[in-house]
Amino acid sequence: MDISLILKITGVGLLVSVACQVLSKSGRDEQATMLSIAGIIIVMILIISELEGLFSMLSRVFGF
């Protein structure tokens, strides 16, 4: 795992939280909810790609 992954996740979290606050203060709660769901999906995609690399490394190490 690289420090860049942690920074990417942090950046997505900060951008989503600020945008959600702005949207909810302006009365657009539905868009804020959709934006938070989109942020969660983006972070999940980042984590899944790293897990794929982990599982392939484990299969190479243990010879599966």
Asked whether the beta carbons of 43 and 16 are under 8 A apart, the reply is no
Q: Confirm whether 30 is domain-assigned.
A: yes
In a domain, 64, yes or no: no
- The pLDDT value given to residue 63: 83
pLDDT at 1: 62
Tell me whether residue 19 is in a domain.
Answer: yes
Q: 39 and 13 in contact (C-beta within 8 Å)?
A: yes
**Structure pTM?**
0.78
CA separation, residue 46 to residues 10, 17, 22, 24, 30 (Å): 12, 18, 25, 26, 25
The number of folded domains in the chain is 1
Per residue in 1-45, pLDDT (tens digit) is: 679 989 999 999 999 999 999 999 999 999 999 999 999 999 999
Q: Domain residues for 43?
A: 3-59
